Amino acid sequence: MIGQTGEGVYSSMREPGRVLSRHKNEEEPLLDAAFLRHLEQLQLICKKIFLGRMKGERRSKKRGVSIEFADYRDYSKGDDLRFLDWNIYGRLDRLFTKLFHEEEDLYLYIVIDVSGSMNTGDPRKSWFAKRAAAALAYISLAGLDRVCLVGFSEERYRWLQPARGKSRIWSIIDFLEQLPIDGETSLAEGCRRFALQQSRGGVVVLLSDLLDPAGFEEAFKHLLQNRNELYVLQILSPQELHPDMYGALRLLDVETGEPVEVTVTEELLNVYERRLRAFQAEITRISHRYGIHYLPIATDDSIERLLTSTLRRMGLIE
């Protein structure tokens, strides 16, 4: 398979069978300094309130130590005397303990589809996914949240332990860079394993092309466990959105090697694009049903605009 070596990536749809070197963008670091500075101004928003492990910048459901008052309760032995409300004791002569909203850290899970199909396109889908993942991870780390990365395909499942603190961005980038892109897609299986391993809820961002013959709905259900807030970014290459080919072809699936003989004509291209739109409409429909944030992205879109504009509009980032 093409993706196994990590090299020899098929990327240009116009030059069949030609093995190109990596796309020029891939020579660039996943994140550069200017981009990082820009990212620092962004932070994740979480619409739900999750239990954090450490005190972070997030308001926690737990009542804890912070400056934001939450409630009172009766004092019981062992409570911290510092949080007794002496004013009420003076008025009512009863001991009440002040309860505050505890500010906790947020868990961001970035789940990346690393199957062979992600290794196509110009710009390559996997590169786009990794860069987006790195950017999101950085934003998250900068906001003192915890970031957990998962890469999966049918054979592969890699998990990067939740990391916290900006300094961990390099280990995340290392992880991303060393993440091999090959194998068949099995969205449902990968997401099931993730759900089993995930101990705390948080924001889950799925980066995938969703081109799984078995479908995507089951995978969405797995990712929605633990009251996760799910963002699905469907990454497609321009060649998938608007195929630019013609003539008698034998289309080979890069994952399965399965051939499909087609004679590409204008008519067939029209049918294909109708099919693609129907596919995306189906995803949108299911996403609405489960309250999932769905965003189709083309790999030739600017990743900066994605982060600063599109995701901001969706409410993932502010």
- Distance of alpha carbon 150 from alpha carbon 145, whole angstroms: 16
Rank residues 57 and 217 by Cβ distance to another protein and give the closer one: 217
Smallest distance, another protein to C-beta of residue 127, A: 14
Contact pick of 27, 68, 93, 261 for another protein (by CB under 8 A): 261
Angle ∠(188,315,117) on CA atoms, nearest 5? 35
96 binds another protein per the rule CB under 8 A: no
Pick from 166, 178, 174: nearest CA to 139: 166
In whole angstroms, the minimum distance from the beta carbon of 12 to another protein comes to 10
Of 47 and 250, the one with the shorter C-beta distance to another protein is 250
34 is a site residue for another protein (CB under 8 A): no
**What is the enclosing helix (H) or strand (E) of 149?**
strand 146-152
Strand pairing class (293-298; 157-164):
unpaired
Closer of 89 and 246 to another protein (Cβ): 246
User: How many CB atoms sit inside 10 A of residue 99's CB?
Assistant: 16
Longest dimension (CA), the chain: 89
Of 34 and 248, which has the nearer Cβ to another protein? 248
Q: Which of 93, 104, 29, 90 is nearest to 59 (CA)?
A: 104
The binder of another protein chosen from 60, 153, 186, 237 (CB under 8 A): 237
- 21 touching another protein, by CB under 8 A: no
Which residues in the 159-178 window bind another protein by CB under 8 A? none
DSSP string covering 156-189 = -EEEEEEEESGGGHHHHHHHHHT----S---HHH
CA distance 252 to 262: 11
Compose the 53-82 pattern: x for residues touching another protein by CB under 8 A, - for all others: ------------------------------
Please give the Cα distance from 98 to 64 (Å, whole number).
10
Measured from the CB of residue 133, what is the shortest distance to another protein in angstroms? Answer: 19
Binding residue (CB under 8 A) for another protein from 211, 219, 230, 311: 211
Minimum CB distance to another protein smaller for 19 or for 196: 19
20 binds another protein (CB under 8 A): no
Tell me the number of residues near another protein by CB under 8 A.
48
Task: Return the number of the residue (51 or 262) whose C-beta is nearest another protein.
Answer: 262
Binding mask 121-160 for another protein (x = CB under 8 A): x---x-----------------------------------
DSSP state of 245: -
Residue 148 · residue 181 · CB < 8 Å: no
Report the candidate in 93, 114, 168, 182 with the shortest Cα–Cα distance to residue 137. 168
Nearest Cα neighbor of 112 from 149, 67, 145 is 149
* Of the candidates 146, 165, 140, 49, the residue with the CA atom closest to the CA atom of residue 102: 49
Q: Which of residues 266-295 bind another protein (CB under 8 A)?
A: 267-268, 271-272, 274-276, 279
Any contact of residue 35 with another protein (CB under 8 A)?
no
Site for another protein, rule CB under 8 A: 2, 10, 13-17, 116-118, 120-121, 125, 185, 209, 211-213, 237, 239-240, 245-256, 258-263, 265, 267-268, 271-272, 274-276, 279
